Amino acid sequence: MTDQRALLRVEDAAKRYRAGRSRVRAVDGVTLEVVRGETLGLVGESGCGKSTLGRLMCCLEAPTKGRVLFDGVDAARIPPRQLRALRPKMQMVFQDPFASLNPHKTVAQIVGLPLRIQQRASRKEVRERVAQLLEMVGLDPSQGRRFPHQFSGGQRQRIGIARALACKPDLIVADEPVASLDVSIQAQILQIMRELQRRFSMTAVFISHDVSVVSHVSQRVAVMYLGKIVELGPAQSVIGDPLHPYSRALISAVPRLDSSLEAQVIRLSGDPPSPTAVPPGCRFHTRCFLDQIPECRAREPELREIRLGHLAACHIAG
């Protein structure tokens, strides 16, 4: 399971939050690795914990339990000074390009700030690098003097990507980077992501609720349900032939464009349970459509390799 090339290792990480008297198990025991040069897609529905997991991976939050190792270093257990030196190596792209850019700063200032802080670069160096970065994401460097409100949503998302790339990070975590964009603009951003993968063999975690988008940019895909990874494997294998009943339902529910390829839609009943009251045994058993065995209610299934490199957490699958 341990891969020497792994840039990021998440070991049995959990993140709990207190909400009044109840406790939210946002991330509930996740183990996975992100290998250098790959894009790992993280897909799941709202409230499944994918954003929290993304924040754990970027060391923006410390896990309540377990460890997150970035290049072998446990960021939660190093002094702040060292952590700060680690920061430029992991960068995040956020969903809302309106909220994540400072409205008082020009684009050049926004994109240049990480360079000034982290690399103590000279003005000239910053200027040159900013121009380079803007060009890389398909913006005209002359637009650097403008403010975020003068840009459309898609352009703002490009600015967010340029800022994340400023310090040449080893890892990019993109949390729903295209969720707020129209399809024609979404396609432009996805194109940029693929271009960056090709040019810099970027290592990335791509978080989205949209299975088609994830399948388009990722080499491996992890499916999350109620705080846990229920399936993990090569994108083609997970999307084309999912093993876990939840992934099967999720993927079958995506409306297809070509009705000739129409898969049999698996209809799940009811809503996902609340992360404050995770069902015992398999957390999916309350909505599962398979013929269940007593194990399903009694014991939580672990991720196990069913096909080569393709894991699922289900007692029955395979």
Partner 1 sequence: MTEGSLLKVSGLRTEFATYRGALVAVDGVSLALRRGETLALVGESGCGKSVTALSVMRLVRRPGRITAGKVMFEGQDLLRRTRREMQRLRGSRIAMVFQDPLSTLNPAFTLETQISESLRVHRVARGREARERSVELLAAMGIPSPSERLHSYPHELSGGMRQRVMIAIAVSCSPDLLIADEPTTALDVTLQVQIMDLLAEIKRTRGLSIILITHDLGIVSQFSDRAAVMYAGRIVEQASVSELLGRPLHPYTEGLVGCIPRLGRPDVPITPIEGTVPDLVRPPVGCRFAPRCPRATDRCVASEPPDYRLESDRIVRCYLHEKSSLASSGEETG
Which of 256, 297, 299, 304 is close enough to bind partner 1 by CB under 8 A? 256
What is the distance between the alpha carbons of residues 129 and 108, in angstroms, rounded to a whole number?
10
The yes or no reply on residue 205 touching partner 1 (CB under 8 A) is no
HEC letters along 167-220: CCCCEEEEECCCCCCCHHHHHHHHHHHHHHHHHHCCEEEEEECCHHHHHHHCCE
Query: Using CB under 8 A as the criterion, what x/- string covers residues 143-162 for binding partner 1?
Result: ---------x-xx-------
The yes or no reply on residue 295 touching partner 1 (CB under 8 A) is no
Residues 35-94 that bind partner 1 (CB under 8 A): 45-46
Considering only the stretches 54-62, 111-119, 127-135, 176-184, report the one whose residues sit in contact with partner 1 under the rule CB under 8 A: 176-184
What is the distance between the alpha carbons of residues 20 and 34, in angstroms, rounded to a whole number?
34
Which of 253, 278, 290, 306 is close enough to bind partner 1 by CB under 8 A? 253
Please provide the DSSP assignment of 77-119 as one string: GS-HHHHHHHGGGEEEE-S-TTTSS-TTS-HHHHHHHHHHHHT
Considering only the stretches 197-205, 250-258, 277-285, 294-302, report the one whose residues sit in contact with partner 1 under the rule CB under 8 A: 250-258
Q: How many residues in the shown chain lie near partner 1 by CB under 8 A? A: 40
CB of 181 to partner 1, least distance (A): 9
The yes or no reply on residue 201 touching partner 1 (CB under 8 A) is no
Query: Using CB under 8 A as the criterion, what x/- string covers residues 215-244 for binding partner 1?
Result: xxx-----------------xx--xx----
Which of 20, 72, 79, 255 is close enough to bind partner 1 by CB under 8 A? 255
What is the distance between the alpha carbons of residues 245 and 314, in angstroms, rounded to a whole number?
8
Question: Residue 64, exposed/middle/buried by CB under 10 A (0-12, 13-18, 19+)?
Answer: middle
φ, ψ of residue 12 to 5 degrees: the values are: 45, 45
| Closest by Cα among 266, 261, 268, 262 to 242 | 266
The yes or no reply on residue 122 touching partner 1 (CB under 8 A) is no
Which of 98, 191, 302, 309 is close enough to bind partner 1 by CB under 8 A? 191
